[in-house]
């Protein structure tokens, strides 16, 4: 399926792995979390239309997914953490694969469930994807 930590790491690294990209992606994750949750909750609570309430809840759920990515990105921002996460990984191949997999962010709360399951996985060799 989708490894949430790997998704954040690949997004932060990109092809070149520059420090600027890491900061921009972290800012994107934070903006996505705050923006989607705020707009989603405002939409869900301030509109009389039932359909817009559903859209608001959906947006808030996506915002929570971005919060999970933010936490992963903060963890990967420690010196050496991103390089350790991607050690031995063919970044180009994984980027192509995860470009499609990142569409799962649009499923509300999915990354929360995946991250919880992955953090509770028994210790052992790190999964490749």
Dihedral angle at the C-alpha atoms of 118, 70, 103, 11, nearest 10 degrees?
A: -100
Beta-carbon contacts of 4 under 8 Å, excluding residues fewer than 6 positions away, are 68, 69, 72, 111, 114, 115, 118
Gap between the Cα atoms of 46 and 48, Å rounded: 7
Global pTM value? 0.90
pLDDT at residue 3, as a whole number: 96
Nearest to 10 by CA among 78, 79, 82, 113: 82
pLDDT at residue 121, as a whole number: 65
Gap between the Cα atoms of 73 and 35, Å rounded: 17
Task: Per-residue pLDDT tens, the chain, 129 aa: give them.
Answer: 899 999 999 999 999 999 999 999 999 999 999 999 999 999 999 999 999 999 999 999 999 999 999 999 999 999 999 999 999 999 999 999 999 999 999 999 999 999 999 987 665 455 554
pLDDT at residue 1, as a whole number: 80
């Amino acid at each position: 399926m989708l490894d949430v930590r790997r998704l954040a790491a690949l997004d932060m690294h990109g092809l070149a792995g520059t420090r600027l990209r890491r900061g921009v992606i972290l800012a994107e994750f934070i903006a996505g979390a705050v923006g989607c949750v705020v707009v989603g909750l405002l939409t869900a609570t301030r509109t009389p239309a039932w359909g817009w309430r559903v859209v608001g809840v959906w947006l808030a759920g996506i915002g929570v997914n971005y919060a999970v990515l933010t936490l992963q990105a903060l963890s990967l921002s420690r010196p050496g953490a991103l390089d350790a996460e991607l050690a031995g990984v063919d970044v180009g191949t994984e980027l192509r694969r995860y470009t499609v997999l990142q569409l799962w962010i649009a499923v509300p709360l999915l990354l929360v469930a995946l991250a919880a399951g992955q953090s509770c996985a028994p210790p052992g060799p790190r999964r490749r994807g």
